[in-house]
Structure 1
C-alpha cells in the first residue's frame, strides 16, 4: 500500500523578509505561519505522514513548536540545505519507497486549501508529476537588461506556479540525481527539473489565488486579512469519540443549541444546558461563573463549551433604545466573552474545546443590523485572540458560521420562509461536534447545506 507524504519546506532564512526571525516563524492569526501550514496537511485525510525540512539552527525551535500542538502525522524533522533543491533532496531522502508519493509545499504558504491538496493527490496518482497553478491576471513583460521591454508573452498561455508540487518519489529521486550528474543548479522549483530533463509530463492542477507565498513584510498584512475573512469546512469526524465527555451548551434550550445537545447525547455525551429557560442569565457574569462551577462539581470535568445563545432585533441604530441595544450586546457579546473567561480554567484541565457562533454578517455590516453585525465581527476577533492566548493550555477556540438555518429565532424575525432555502439545525449540530473533535483553533468554520449529511 503506497503512502502519501507532505514535505513542508521550512529551511529558508527569509533574507527578503527583513525580519529578526525567518518568516515561517512569524505569528499570524494566532499561530506561527509554519503551524498554520502544518495544520492543513495534518488535518487532511489523504495525507499519511508529514515531514518538516528545517534549517539546522531552528530544529529545536520546531521541536518545541510541535510539543505545543496536537499534530498526529508529523513523523520526521530533517535538516535542509542552502538551496530549495537541497531541502527537497532532504525530504526525498527521508522516504524509502519509490512508489510512494510526496507533496512538496512551501512553509510560507499557510492558506493552501484542503481541496487543492485533494486535487494534487488525485492527479499525482495518475500522472507522477503535478504542479499547482493559477491563471495570470497581470501582463508579464520580459526584459534582457532590466530597463527596456524585450518581449510581452501571450498572457493566455501563462500560469503562476504555486505549491504544493506532487511527485511519485522515484521520479523525483531520479530528477535530482540527473540534476547532480549534470552539475546543474539553475532551478527555482522541482517541476523545473522534471521538465528540463523531460522525465515526465507535469500535469497542472488549478489552485486558488489566496494561496499566496509570504515573502515580503507587506504579505503578512495581506495574509492576515485573508485569515480574518476566511472560513473553512471541517471534515467528517467519528462522533463516537465524544462518548463519556461533558459538554455545556449555552443557549441549549432551543434552536441550534437544542440540536447540538440532542446530537451530543446520541453519542454518549453528558450535556448541560445553560439559558434563561434553565434559570441562568448568561449576561450575568456571577450567574454564569456559578453555573460552570456547579457543572464541574456535579460531573468532575468539563470537556466542551458551546455558546449558541443569541437575540436578534432589527432597526436603524438611531431609532433603537439604549436599553434594547444593551440587552442585545449583553447576550450576544458578553455572553460569549464570559463563556471564554469562566470556562477556560475548566477546559485547560481537560485540554478541551470551546465553540462560539458568528454569522455571515461578520464580514460586512448590514443596514438595520448594525449592532448584530458588529457583534458577530467582534466574536471572530474574540475567537482569534483567545485561541492564541489559550494555545499553551491546549484549549482550542473556534467560531461556527452557519448559513441561514431553520430556528425559532429566525421564524420570529423573518416569518415562515421556503424550507428548501434553509438549513436544518441538525447539520449545524454535526458540524459543531466535528469541530470540537478537530485540531483546528482560531478559525471560522463555514457550515452550509452540503456539510456532514
Structure 2
C-alpha cells in the first residue's frame, strides 16, 4: 500500500504573509489543492494523509469535501518542526497490520508541480530499495563558508552535489525504525526524512531518483510568479503504453479532419475499430465559425450513433504576413475560426461529452508562449487555446469531462507548407506521429494539460 504523506505544517514566515504559503492561490487553486490532486489522481497512490498545522485543519477538511478527495484518509495535527510532522504520520500507522507492505511517500505541500513521472519512479524504486530520495544536479558552484560565515573554507566538486527535493519515500518499517532511534537522541537535528535515515540507519542505501527543475518549492514571494508561469506552461505526456484497441466502438468526431493531423487521427482510429466522422468546410460544408454548423454536425452523429465519445478540433488558419498587410476580412476570418470556432466546438460538445464521460481535444502551437512576428493573430489565438482549455478543465471537472490541448513542434501539414514552403524533412514532425499522441491523449485520464509533441 502506497501512502502519500503531504507535509503542510509550515506557516510561511519567509513569504511575509498572514497565512501559510500552502493556502496561496496559483492557477485558480491553492497550492495545497494542486499538490494533493497530483497524488489523488495518481494510479499507484492508495491513501493520502495531510499533516497540517492545528490552526488550519478545518481549512483542509473543507477542501477535502469541496474537492472530493477520496484517497485522503487522515488529516492530522502537525508539530512545530518538520520531523515532528513526519513522526505524527508514522505513529498514525503504528497499529496497522501488514506494516511490511506499507510504503510512505513524504512530499512537501508547497511543491505543487511534482510530476507523474517522479512519483512513478519513486514508487518503482521502493521495489529494490528501502529508502528513496529525489534530487537534481547542482548547476551552480557550491561554496562552504568558515565559522564566521564571511569567508570560503572549501569549494566541493559539484559533479557529486545535488539539490534535494521531495517526494522522499521509505518502506514503513525503515522510516519507523529510523525515527525510533532518532527520538532517543537528545541532540536531534534534522531537516528532512532522508537525513534521519542516513544518520540513524547508516547501512541503509538511499537511492536517488532524478527530480525536475519545475518541481520547485514555494519559499519566497518571487516563487509565486514563477509557479504561476510554470502552471501555464505545464506539459504532460500520455502513457506510451495506451492501447489503441481501446478506441474500438468509440465515436470520434474531428472538426478539420479533411487533411493533416485531423485526417491522420481518423485513419488511425478507424483501423482500431472507432466510428469516425470528419467535418470541415470541404467536407459536409461545415464552418466552425458558424455555431449552428457545429451543432448540426454533432446532432447528426449523435442521431446515428447514440453517443459521442471524443470531439477534436484541429481546424485553424495561418496567414504568415505582417498584421498591417491583412484586411479586415482576413483578420475576422482568423479570429472567427481560430478562436470563436474553438469556443463553438467546445461548447457544442459539452452535453455529448458529459453524457459519455469522454474527452475534448484542441490544438495549440509552440508560438503560444511568445507572440511571433508576421503571425501575431495566429500566435495570440493559440495562446488563448491554452488558457481556454485550462479554465474549462477546472469548470467541467465535476462533469467528468476531460479537455486537453496538443502542442506540436513544427509539423509537416498542408497549412505549414502553404506558409513556409519546402523545408528539410528532418526538421519537421510527421503528422501521423502527432496524430498517435493525440489519440493517446484522448484515451488518458488527465485534464487541463498541454501535451508537447517534439522531434
TM-score scaled by length of structure 1: 0.85
> Are 1:423 and 2:421 matched, yes or no?
no
Name 1:274's counterpart in structure 2: 279
Once the two structures are TM-superposed, the CA of residue 233 in structure 1 deviates from its matched residue by 1.4
> Are 1:285 and 2:288 matched, yes or no?
no
Bigger mean CA deviation after superposition, 288-297 or 19-28: 19-28
User: Distance between the aligned counterparts of 1:272 and 1:19, measured in 2?
Assistant: 54
Write out per-residue CA displacement over residues 223-275 of structure 1, whole angstroms, 9 at most, x where no aligned residue: 01011123221213233333333332111122111111222233333222221
Name 1:189's counterpart in structure 2: 192
User: Distance between the aligned counterparts of 1:141 and 1:313, measured in 2?
Assistant: 56
Once the two structures are TM-superposed, the CA of residue 401 in structure 1 deviates from its matched residue by 0.6
Name 1:63's counterpart in structure 2: 64
SS at match of 2:286: coil
Name 1:12's counterpart in structure 2: 9
Name 1:335's counterpart in structure 2: 341
Select which of 374, 380, 405 maps to 1:374. 380
Aligned residue pairs: how many?
439
User: Distance between the aligned counterparts of 1:242 and 1:29, measured in 2?
Assistant: 32
> Are 1:49 and 2:46 matched, yes or no?
yes
**CA separation of 1:430/1:23 partners in 2, compared to 1, >3 Å: closer, same or farther?**
farther
After superposition, where does 1:67-78 map in structure 2 within 5 Å? 67=68, 74=71, 76-78=73-75
Write out per-residue CA displacement over residues 144-181 of structure 1, whole angstroms, 9 at most, x where no aligned residue: 79xx6365653645543211112233221111111223
**CA separation of 1:99/1:346 partners in 2, compared to 1, >3 Å: closer, same or farther?**
closer
Contact 1:348 1:394 in 2 (8 A): yes
Once the two structures are TM-superposed, the CA of residue 119 in structure 1 deviates from its matched residue by 4.5
> Are 1:168 and 2:168 matched, yes or no?
no
SS at match of 2:436: helix
User: Distance between the aligned counterparts of 2:210 and 2:155, measured in 1?
Assistant: 19
Name 1:221's counterpart in structure 2: 225
User: Distance between the aligned counterparts of 1:249 and 1:23, measured in 2?
Assistant: 43
User: Distance between the aligned counterparts of 1:153 and 1:58, measured in 2?
Assistant: 46
**CA separation of 1:435/1:126 partners in 2, compared to 1, >3 Å: closer, same or farther?**
same
Once the two structures are TM-superposed, the CA of residue 391 in structure 1 deviates from its matched residue by 2.0
User: Distance between the aligned counterparts of 1:271 and 1:254, measured in 2?
Assistant: 14
User: Distance between the aligned counterparts of 2:42 and 2:433, measured in 1?
Assistant: 21
After superposition, where does 1:224-303 map in structure 2 within 5 Å? 224-236=228-240, 237-277=242-282, 278-303=284-309
User: Distance between the aligned counterparts of 1:444 and 1:270, measured in 2?
Assistant: 26
Q: Which runs of 5+ in 2 are unaligned?
A: none
Select which of 132, 139, 150 maps to 1:130. 132
Contact 1:9 1:52 in 2 (8 A): yes
Higher RCO (C-alpha 8 Å, min separation 6): 1
**CA separation of 1:100/1:52 partners in 2, compared to 1, >3 Å: closer, same or farther?**
closer
User: Distance between the aligned counterparts of 1:25 and 1:418, measured in 2?
Assistant: 50
